Structure 1
């Protein structure tokens, strides 16, 4: 900096640790400057220290996004776009951990290149890892689905892809581990309501049992911090059991910071501190009170202006110590030092425009969409279509010419859209009719034109579903049906169609399409999520057999009356009173399509070995048995269970699955491995996913896939007090329609 000798400042001395350098920098700040550095909007340049302004808020949910007030990330002639991958719910449907991590790597490469060009920051508040508890939730498109284990593994892989610098994946001191960019797991915790019957996320108090917190809501965040080593966690708008999450010292300071050992900072969702005063009216807090409460609870950074406005007064009034501010700012600056904000990272310095929107990156977006697409129905093996036999193609529906709708929310400017019309035009002559004016399809005035087109086409494709006007941040759904006249459009076009009808559903949340499932004229159904910028090409590749679909549903597709059976505000996962259970783990009613469902153009067969396993675990006098609630009194064994915290947890279940592609086409299969707890214990899941692997096989090829499951991690259950317990008795590991018996017993 002009007029300054930066070598005079210890915070610029590379020979010192980040901890020492951060302390030196913080010690040089005034109280007002400290408060300014703890807000996203208020961070300022401090000329006397040569300290540049840094804006914290950037987004990269499924590609570098242009989001926020006065966005840090921006596109222009220098960087006109960045790759827009499918929304997360479709990427999750690939059940491909390697792909998840690779997408994270590509997104971070483009992000770092944009930073080098002055068009992005270094701290990206992604991914969203809230579990989809209720099918009405408007932000389902941003998430990896309803299973906390899948959500957690997605978080670990995406974060590792975003953050890890080659050669520095693991270091003895994680607080000095360099970061490619910083990721943020959000929104902690038990957040999954936008606006339900007038009750919005800014006022909602989630009443959650400790059992559900440990088993479902906390698990993905625990995995993200412990295994992903994420450098930031965001607290949510809502309260949990009466306490705003951003003011909950147990959640932030005890769990995230201490128990899970976060190496980074904790940030508030934007204006969450203000909402404690304005909407929650918690403890009749003033701005000074709320800022003091959240800082003492472990909140380091305010995406808002309350910290900047009120923390100096909070200190003056004795409500919080300036030393608490010092600690928070050190966390912030250590992350920036790890990112090279002060020193640079030579291996990343050459990244630039040539690394954004590359042919390889765009191809990865197409491949992610292809792998995520789920084939729900395929009567008479109608798909894949031979282009030689189907030359005239009718594309009908509000999504048949989709572009912006394909990338959903938290998006930037894509490299290049491939709409369904463009994608299908590569295979035949396309005739297009909207069928509906828009997604809400308020009337039937466009349906006749669509019917006439279907009468003359060799094959008819109906593109229906939802978009951000129906499901989005701030927008929860009220039902599980296609909006407006969309169902009528499907039925009328199907009746008139000359050739086979293929239904293509663009949506994140579930839809009851039982009417189409049972209609014999609708030969095939594809769920394609929001497939990203290359969506039209990916769908066409699946339809015409260039890609064999292998995606699986990351959500249970409930029947429409499910939402009439319980309010969205009913938080328990297990069935309570007259309310049914939630997610595949606890719901035992009929479904349109179950979690994990997905067809292929080929068939797979499994063989497995061994059939039975047994573990005799010897307990010492310091390891104690825990009781369990059994459905029958005489079922209680001598030692029902032991806390996994009291066990060494070294035992492993090892088995092999031989998978054979017995069909005529190459394709991929997702092997889903479930744990079924011993019979008779009250409140256990019907089953829970403990492992999965996506495997590609040529026609007639077979492969052996090895699974290694930790007994404690994979066979535990959570009791109503929140203990993770390993029950004795006969467990089952279920793969497809086969199962392995695993007997666990305790001896003293």
Structure 2
């Protein structure tokens, strides 16, 4: 190295350390900056920390001209220089790690990547609420660190909390699965992890509660058709019953707003019953703001207003009319150019009042004030975060652990975990399949556009740590359209100690703007497995599947030479070692499927565009999700094996719950299929105080030979004589760890109104009298207890 190169390297290192250690985010209300502008900051109420954020935001907005205002309500706000208000890029993403999708975040030679955690569908499979919150905390640490380094903003449009209603949907990879309650709990925990500032969880005025970063729950609402057989999200009109809206599509968002206190909600591209969601005042103003009391802003999915004009051609609106419609409906921020380009003209034409723009701007600036953009964070929190907090060893280990916790063991013929005595020669493994050397495929979508990660632990790397490896791809890619590589793979696996086949899907099969048309393995993948399993002198064959949506694996699951099947979702950049840890017994799998895996012919029975959740017998449509589908499954919701065995005992649960009616409370009718007549068949939940808490006490025992984690599911089943109710409904879950032979109590204290209520066909939430039951676990190991509900 030359002297010049040495000096340059030292200088770069010093500058890197300087900017890492001394990173300081810019603060708007800085008296020195205003002094240079010739302005006394003390004369500006929007910088007076003694005033409420509402008052300060109003003062700031009132100082702007109309032209300045409309320039701030697009995602690329230009700022107002005369007020020392810089531009701000609202759009950043942090679905499972900080991404450079969106202009608000970028990477450079100093910070080339952020930690890639497993995609949401796999993290959800852990059913570990503590993990979900920890992931949010780790991601927001990296986001704040990048903000301090000038590489990111403070608002991140994550998480995606749409229910995975149909197995063909291309964006299941982003979602927490098919159960709206689980989706809502994931949302609340992940958002709390992203947003919460320690010491400020309970404030008298929620609009003053400091935020670490601003999260966003999307896409509101009934959005789960991207592009299926030529029907795309830019034209799709979701025909949804009010019952399904309340019971399924709105519930996760309500939980995200009420329990997560999320800073924003994003409306979706589609229409719901004829009206674009971003222009529907009933969905935005009336529901999100008035009913749920959002403390934050509502943003459009990118270019949704343009889609409303050119895609949906809603009311044949001009751009100005569309802008007026959405502003009046409650849309504060346009991810796009329609607000900045057409809002001023809309005001001049009398289509909307300037006050609507003022209202939106105040919502936006209050959030930025809560984020510390104006004054800094309380006590200087987070300013110490820098480069060393990005891709830290702790976060990389958390990524691997999240993958381990979510991985689901689908089949095991007493083969896993693999182990070899110390006296054996180092084993030789065959590693085959299109995902054997996966890197970018493991991190799914909303990753870095360049595909960079802190580092990659590939599947073949993970297996190589335990033995010598022979490799053959079998297919050139996951579509596996040319089976010419299968014979070579068959030869490769012969005489191997064990064979690992890595296959499944990737973003070329399921992705945003790309829905699936079938539930089968792509191309020759299934042939690859069956040919390998039938090869002479082949050892145990273990199949590892990368996918978000389910695949009909019936053929390989029945194959006697396929010893084990593992679903690994999309496990993040540390996925290789996480999978190997499960295979070789360093980790006992405890993940459970967050979606139903249907047989392949499911897609022939119902079009993806049918939004109905319940079966439609007239059309021969089956139900959707475990709550309403009663056909055969490949694997049911909540399925997953372990290397040990768990049993349940219900130790305590009431046999009868009696509700005392208020003096003027009315009983509500219910049509019982068996003609049963009760003096008080049901009560309306919203008219009830609903203070009755019931205690369900369980004892969970690990009766097997190995330590392990287990997910305890608690379902309720409504009286069988009420038509149209769910088969069962998940109301609580908990992941517990038990050593071999250990027993552990699990107690759920639950609101009786909420866990036993039903949504009627006219969308009322009723609490019906009669014989309900609770179910702990999934078949065949489930245990049940009947609980009667009465009113007096």
> Smaller-chain TM-score range?
over 0.9
Alignment correspondent of 1:20: 55
State whether residues 459 and 499 of structure 1, in contact with CA within 8 Å, keep that contact through their aligned partners in structure 2: yes
**How do 1:348-747 residues align onto structure 2 when only pairs under 5 Å count?**
348-386=382-420, 391-412=427-448, 413-496=452-535, 498-576=538-616, 577=618, 578-632=620-674, 634-736=675-777, 737-747=782-792
**Distance of 1:129 and 1:505 partners within structure 2:** 24
Deviations 1:357-388 (A, max 9, x none): 11111100000000000000001344344375
Contact 1:387 1:428 in 2 (8 A): no
For residue 329 of structure 2, the aligned residue among 278, 286, 297 is 297
Instruction: Report the equivalent of 1:113.
Output: 145
Shift of 1:611: 4.9
Q: Does residue 53 in structure 1 map to residue 73 in structure 2? A: no
Partner of residue 142, structure 1: 174
| SS of residue matched to 1:303 | coil
CA drift of 1:722 comes to 0.9
Alpha-carbon deviations, 1:389-433, whole Å to 9, x = none?
671111100001100000000013421110011111111111111
Look up the SS of the partner of 1:445 in the other structure. helix
CA contact (8 A) 1:384 1:542 kept: no
- The answer as to whether partners of 2:415 and 2:540 remain within 8 angstroms in 1 is no
- Tell me the alpha carbon deviations over residues 463-520 of structure 1, each in whole angstroms, 9 at most, x when there is no partner: 1100000000000000000101111111111111510100100000110000011001
The question of whether the paired residues in 2 share the 8 Å contact of 1:677 and 1:684 is answered with yes
Bigger CA drift: 722-731 or 261-270? 722-731
TM normalised by structure 1 equals: 0.98
Determine the C-alpha separation between the residues in 1 that align with 2:208 and 2:682: 40
Point out where structure 2 has 5 or more consecutive residues left out of the alignment. 1-32
Q: Deviations over 1:505-558 (max 9, x none)?
A: 000011000001100100100000000010000000000000000000000000
Deviation at 1:77, TM superposition (A): 1.9
Structure 1 counterpart of 2:186: 154
Separation in 1, partners of 2:734, 2:45:
49
Structure 2: distance between partners of 1:380 and 1:239 = 50
Q: CA deviation at 1:47?
A: 1.5
Contact 2:416 2:584 in 1 (8 A): no
Pairwise CA distance, 1:732: 0.5
Select between 243-252 and 703-712 the one with higher mean Cα deviation: 703-712
Q: How does 1:59-74 map to 2 (within 5 A)?
A: 59-68=93-102, 71-74=103-106
Q: Which residue in the other structure is 1:283 paired with?
A: 315
Range 296-305 or range 446-455, more displaced: 446-455
- Please, what TM-score do these two structures have when normalized by structure 2? 0.93
Inter-partner Cα distance in structure 1 for 2:229 and 2:706: 49
Alignment check: 8 A CA contact 2:146 2:387 kept: yes
1:676–1:732 contact (8 Å) kept in structure 2: yes
Q: Are 2:237 and 1:198 equivalent residues in the alignment?
A: no
Match of 1:36 among 71, 81, 85: 71
User: Aligned equivalents of 1:635 and 1:435: distance in 2?
Assistant: 62
Aligned to 2:44: 9
Q: Whole-Å Cα distance in 2 between the matches of residues 312 and 228 of structure 1?
A: 35
Distance 1:50 1:594 in 2: 57
In 1, the alpha carbon distance for the partners of 2:567 and 2:739 equals: 24
SS of 2:381 mapped into structure 1? helix
Aligned residues: 743
Looking at structure 1, the residues matched to 538 and 786 of structure 2 have their Cα atoms a distance apart, in angstroms, of 52
Question: What is the distance in 1 between the residues matched to 2:205 and 2:169?
Answer: 39
Counterpart CA distance in 2 for 1:430 and 1:730 is 58
Distance 1:282 1:558 in 2: 36
Using the TM superposition, name which of 652-661 and 1-10 deviates more. Answer: 1-10
Structure 1, unaligned runs of 5 or more = none
Task: Name the CA distance, whole Å, in 2 between partners of 1:46 and 1:327.
Answer: 18
How far residue 721 of structure 1 moved from its aligned partner, in angstroms, is 1.1
How far apart, in 2, do the equivalents of 1:386 and 1:152 lie? 43
Q: How far has the Cα of 1:692 moved from its partner?
A: 0.4
The one-character-per-residue Cα deviations of 1:642-676 (angstroms, maximum 9, x if unpaired) are 11111111101102111111111110110000000
**Hey, what's the Cα distance between the residues in 2 that align with 1:746 and 1:733?**
19
The answer on whether the counterparts of 1:383 and 1:524 sit within 8 Å (CA) in structure 2 is no
* Matched ranges for 1:304-319 at <5 A: 304-319=336-351
The superposition leaves residues 667-699 of structure 1 with CA deviations (integer Å, 9 ceiling, x where unpaired) of 011000000001110100000000000000111
